[in-house]
């Protein structure tokens, strides 16, 4: 889709473009996937296949999100809860020590911008208002924002607990946004795209090299205000 298409008519006249952080502006999920691979090796075996272990962790993380949120501390609790359902009680002390080591070795504040991110944001920021809406542990997310070097490119920044329709509607009011001229851009169909569209925003899905599988969802291929792009740099042609 290009700027002349109906979904982006008038785009030259100053839009508000909101960006996701993790796995849109900087890589993140690969860190958790590496940790999960180690977790599977620690607790799997016997009646528990690798896929069954991952399914149990997914179940725990889905149920725990509203209580613990995101970030490495919540992840550590989720690993232990899943492990307690999998391993024999006598193995738990050794497993818990292993989980502590896995999480301790996870880099929690790495945020090197992905290819083309800086140049693309500079080009878009010259003609549009940019915002950042990122989800997770506030301390970790703000550390990533600072480490990325991107903070000064955004007029609006907020770290949110959830990315649901209510969150986007709250930001519309707080930032005095016009939904018809505001777009949410991210890699996660479930939290970046679907709820933003439900709140009346346009949405751009840029699939990432690694996306948490609980964030995957089907999107309406016929929705004129849901755009799929192959690369971050394509945003300059769209907007």
User: What domains lie within the chain, and their CATH numbers?
Assistant: 6-27+111-238 (3.40.50.1000), 29-104 (1.10.150)
Helical H segments across the chain, by residue range? 29-43, 50-68, 72-86, 92-104, 117-125, 138-148, 165-174, 194-198, 235-238
Q: Give the percent of the chain with pLDDT over 90.
A: 77
Q: Give the percent of the chain with pLDDT over 70.
A: 94
Q: Is the pLDDT of residue 123 over 80?
A: yes
State pLDDT tens for residues 189-239.
989 999 999 999 999 999 977 787 767 778 888 899 999 999 999 999 999
State pLDDT tens for residues 27-54.
999 999 999 999 999 998 888 999 999 9
The pLDDT value recorded for residue 8 is: 59
Distance CA 24, CA 55 (A): 25
Question: Is beta strand 16-19 parallel, antiparallel or unpaired with respect to 129-135?
Answer: parallel
The pLDDT value recorded for residue 1 is: 35
Q: At what angle do helices 72-86 and 50-68 cross, to 10 degrees?
A: 130
The pLDDT value recorded for residue 13 is: 58
What count of residues does the chain have?
239
Beta bridge mates, 158: 133
Distance CA 201, CA 167 (A): 12
Average pLDDT of the chain to the nearest whole number: 90
């Amino acid at each position: 889709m290009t700027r002349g298409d109906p979904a982006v008519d008038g785009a030259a006249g100053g839009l508000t473009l909101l960006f996701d952080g993790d796995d849109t502006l900087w890589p993140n999920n690969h860190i958790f996937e590496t940790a999960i691979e180690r977790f599977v090796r620690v607790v799997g075996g016997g009646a528990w296949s690798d896929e069954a272990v991952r399914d149990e962790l997914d179940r725990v993380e889905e149920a725990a999100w509203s209580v613990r949120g995101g970030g490495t501390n919540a992840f550590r609790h989720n690993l232990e809860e899943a492990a307690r359902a999998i391993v024999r009680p006598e193995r738990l002390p050794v497993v818990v020590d292993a989980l502590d080591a896995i999480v301790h070795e996870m880099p929690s504040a790495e945020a090197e911008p992905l290819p083309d991110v800086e140049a693309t944001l500079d080009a878009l920021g010259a003609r549009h208002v940019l915002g950042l809406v990122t989800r997770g542990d506030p301390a970790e997310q703000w550390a990533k924002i600072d480490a990325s070097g991107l903070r000064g490119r955004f007029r609006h920044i907020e770290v949110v607990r959830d990315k649901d329709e209510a969150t986007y509607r709250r930001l519309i009011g707080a930032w005095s946004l016009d939904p018809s001229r505001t777009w949410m851009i991210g890699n996660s169909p479930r939290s970046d795209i679907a709820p933003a569209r439900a709140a009346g925003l346009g949405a751009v899905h840029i699939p990432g090299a690694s996306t948490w599988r609980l964030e995957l969802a089907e999107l309406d291929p016929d929705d004129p205000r849901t755009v799929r792009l192959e690369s971050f740099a394509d945003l300059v042609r769209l907007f």
